Structure 1
């Protein structure tokens, strides 16, 4: 009987493994494991674990009023991958389903399944996902299953029946559940490693493209720079052709089809015209979708994505082509989207450089020049570094940089709200945290009522930059920005716990520029002071008197 139970359970566990493997190959599930596990993804993992638990109950074998099952496989797997939330959701679904079957082991099995979800989740949150090697998973699952069967031994009456059930199903239930969880977890870890490798390779390609493209931005986004960018993309990807366009003509087309898709010609394909009109990306399969005028055109499938500037205005398109021998994968779409974001940013940098050259206000131009391509290149290299560790955060940092550039390029007002200045400064600080990692932290304090008050733009960021430049040390640098409204003035205080200064106070272009601009707007109705903190560090304070600052 024992041999039959063991063989049947192993056979059915194998079926579950096959089903789970197929599920985990879907883009939807891969997308979950390819991202940081936010609440939504943890819920999904919990539901999947619960459904696997239900299958484990349905495919179980009845023995003396009990069900020999592998319900805990899905529950433990959910806990190990998604922590306590996923473990509890899976346990709740599968244990309630088990209660509906009734029987003498219904309640102890209910408790055992809940325990499995909690314990696996606790172990995951304490040790982390990397702790679950094949043998560690085997060990923890064995312990959890023994606890599960201990509930049966203690709670089922009479004891002779409990003893018979427990020790006759102990071996097959523990072995099948432990092996099932271990193999599934091994499968998931391989999936995660493959996704990480794919993401790393994609980001490496993107940053090679970015590095080469940044060298062309001084010439603007024209046929020459577009050709360099397109060739770099082709050399660092699997696509058979790459094209860049503006809103009217082809700027560059390299790879297959370049004999008739020639730079300088008007856009020919209906698909590109559709993307320009809708300003939305398009995936195309088949020659009819591309709609090229030439019948023997080798372009067969494509991803066409809009390129937009920092104000979300359409610049042109990025087109990534495959021949008939290749098909577009989901990873190609993700790569294309990230690449289009990157190129949009690079083109915006080019426009910013042109705007800087045309700037008429010398002092403002000096301040904006602090955000030079050199600084941007260093920042993007830092993003490249963390993309290997936290690929999910890359978009966030690109957004921060985009917001920073948008404000720098398009903010021409003499006065802006304090809230706008704070948002700009936060974006700058987040990029600096990316660069300096754990060595930098900050806090910003400002009353909601004060946020609507107006000050000149680009006042706060140089103060923060000054703290970083002169205060960075081996231990963590903490920068505090406090803005408050007093009876007759607005007070801006930037304080840090950095190196401080002895003797002469620091003099930088940023501080001198701030002083000159404040003087031009407020005359003598402001104060700027710099002093060393009691325990080191520096304190910079600006006081602007109320009811002044009318523009003249």
Structure 2
């Protein structure tokens, strides 16, 4: 290689090195974010246009004079502008760089203006092909692609100089002198620039993935911690999870008056049960805002011990349903460590997760209390009515058949004993059937020969579970609002069947008097509660269903999930 070519290549490499240093410094700022995500949003495209147009202009300004022309690195800005921004942005970057070069003058001014515009458009067309045709956006960050496209673009520029610049002999001599150095320098420079962006993208993706994974793992481990309320036990679990996952020096959970849990550095003098004494925590509670003492501008000073190793603290309020502060999450770092921004962001996110967990926990508790209250209301509604009829029946039987009356009293005692088990949420089909049969024995005596009962439930279903107090209300409803209205004999069947692969228990009467209510009434309260509790326990597809044919039959159907599904 002739010495003049080597000198020119060295000068271009020096210029390129300056640009790469500038690019590296810019990569540490938010300016480079649009280059890592290829977002088509207007702010991102404007940033790409301005950034690479500036590279084009600087490439021309700091180029090496070769006679009446300029050997430069302008092509890097034009090609990369198109690769990152697409055809429109590439064309605009190339046109801007080309016009700037044109106004600098020289016999190659028009040829360079046209070629720079063409280079930007070429990069944009490659962007379009990769994203729209091959659907491999990751390939745009390939240094080899940047090298190849820039090499082709520079070759195209040399051809345009020969085609447009006059006189031809001078243009040919210029191309012989600058072609090889510019092809090598610009192609390698574009590849190195793309390598820098690719590495930055990978670091950003890795950092984002790490943060997202940590946040997701935290959220998963904190699910359900407030089932028993916001107390010392739940706070201790939360503090340990945060301490293990984030890796800060210490974690504390407080309510508005005292420390509920503390774990980590300084636990020898920071204890659960101690009253809140630090000004930062008091301020966070009173003003309902995040308070951060970074240990530099805002000093954290332990109020318990002067030689406490903790040097910075983040205090984030935990809010209740009405946005009132009910406690705080406190993250600490030692005096020897800086508080990382990611931990600050995670701390604020943790408080939001805990607030949501508290809201969900309270909702579930209220829902459970409502279910229990409605269940008790249904039992209170049924028991006095049934008890009155049962006692009248026993009173009538006791005069003529002492043994029968004793059997009825035993059935009544069994029914009432089962009825008092209000806290038992689930019961086996066998137990439900026992409770129901105790009720039916009394009703059969009361109605004498006007009520026939047929029970046929498969043995395999006897240990399947149901929400307690599910079967008897349906049987009572069938008698009270069905067979008791008939002049002829009422027939009640309790049986199991399989429908579409699902096991079902059916309570059927021969009255066919069922009328679907628009809203749960007093008469239909028992059925409504059974339906609601089935949905809550097994899911909406296992709700109570009613099949009815007027004057023929009414069937109340309970669907049972498979044992492995429950």
Please indicate the TM-score interval, normalised by the length of the shorter structure.
0.5 to 0.7
Instruction: Identify the residue that residue 199 of structure 1 maps to in structure 2.
Output: 208
Match of 1:172 among 181, 194, 197: 181
Question: How far did 1:135 drift?
Answer: 1.7
Question: How far did 1:254 drift?
Answer: 1.6
Give TM-score, length-normalised by structure 1.
0.60
Distance 1:68 1:333 in 2: 50
Match of 1:22 among 17, 20, 25: 25
Instruction: Identify the residue that residue 71 of structure 2 maps to in structure 1.
Output: 68
Instruction: Identify the residue that residue 130 of structure 1 maps to in structure 2.
Output: 138
Change (3 A) 1:237 1:4: same
Contact 2:143–2:190 (8 Å) recurs in 1: no
Structure 1 residue runs of 5 or longer lacking an equivalent are: 364-502, 507-514, 522-552
Match of 1:246 among 243, 255, 259: 255
Distance 2:249 2:34 in 1: 26
Question: How far did 1:70 drift?
Answer: 1.0
Question: How far did 1:182 drift?
Answer: 0.9
Contact 2:20–2:193 (8 Å) recurs in 1: yes
Distance 1:86 1:335 in 2: 37
Change (3 A) 1:246 1:39: farther
> Deviations 1:67-99 (Å, cap 9, x if unpaired)?
211123233333333444654554455444334
Q: Tell me if 1:80 matches 2:83.
A: yes
Change (3 A) 1:56 1:320: farther
Question: How far did 1:120 drift?
Answer: 2.2
Distance 2:127 2:226 in 1: 47
Contact 2:12–2:181 (8 Å) recurs in 1: yes
Q: Tell me if 1:120 matches 2:123.
A: yes
Change (3 A) 1:74 1:231: farther
Change (3 A) 1:116 1:361: farther
Distance 1:184 1:170 in 2: 21
Distance 1:85 1:272 in 2: 54
Contact 1:46–1:88 (8 Å) recurs in 2: no
Distance 1:516 1:311 in 2: 39
Distance 2:517 2:204 in 1: 51
Q: Tell me if 1:236 matches 2:258.
A: no
Contact 1:46–1:85 (8 Å) recurs in 2: no
Residue aligned with 2:84, SS = helix
Q: Tell me if 1:301 matches 2:304.
A: no
Match of 2:330 among 319, 323, 328: 319
Question: How far did 1:337 drift?
Answer: 4.2
Distance 1:46 1:516 in 2: 68
Change (3 A) 1:148 1:26: same
Q: Tell me if 1:39 matches 2:42.
A: yes
Instruction: Identify the residue that residue 343 of structure 1 maps to in structure 2.
Output: 354
Change (3 A) 1:62 1:325: same
Residue aligned with 1:236, SS = helix
Instruction: Identify the residue that residue 289 of structure 1 maps to in structure 2.
Output: 299
Residue aligned with 1:300, SS = strand
Q: Tell me if 1:276 matches 2:285.
A: yes
1:138-153 correspondence to structure 2 within 5 Å: 138-153=147-162
Contact 1:309–1:347 (8 Å) recurs in 2: yes
Change (3 A) 1:79 1:346: farther
Residue aligned with 2:338, SS = coil
Instruction: Identify the residue that residue 449 of structure 2 maps to in structure 1.
Output: none
Aligned length: 374
> Deviations 1:416-475 (Å, cap 9, x if unpaired)?
xxxxxxxxxxxxxxxxxxxxxxxxxxxxxxxxxxxxxxxxxxxxxxxxxxxxxxxxxxxx
> Deviations 1:334-372 (Å, cap 9, x if unpaired)?
444444443333333223323323447999xxxxxxxxx
Give TM-score, length-normalised by structure 2.
0.58
Instruction: Identify the residue that residue 59 of structure 2 maps to in structure 1.
Output: 56
Distance 1:248 1:205 in 2: 30
Distance 1:348 1:279 in 2: 18
Structure 2 residue runs of 5 or longer lacking an equivalent are: 131-135, 375-498, 503-514, 522-566
Contact 1:271–1:289 (8 Å) recurs in 2: no
Contact 2:224–2:361 (8 Å) recurs in 1: no
Match of 1:264 among 273, 277, 280: 273
Change (3 A) 1:92 1:32: same
> Deviations 1:357-401 (Å, cap 9, x if unpaired)?
3447999xxxxxxxxxxxxxxxxxxxxxxxxxxxxxxxxxxxxxx
Match of 1:110 among 110, 113, 117: 113
Change (3 A) 1:337 1:182: farther
1:456-475 correspondence to structure 2 within 5 Å: none
Change (3 A) 1:75 1:317: farther
Change (3 A) 1:272 1:12: farther
Larger radius of gyration: 2
> Deviations 1:151-170 (Å, cap 9, x if unpaired)?
32222112222222233212
Question: How far did 1:255 drift?
Answer: 1.2
Contact 1:210–1:346 (8 Å) recurs in 2: no
RMSD (CA atoms): 3.4
Distance 1:130 1:334 in 2: 29
Change (3 A) 1:162 1:204: same
Distance 2:253 2:38 in 1: 30
> Deviations 1:98-118 (Å, cap 9, x if unpaired)?
344233333333333333333
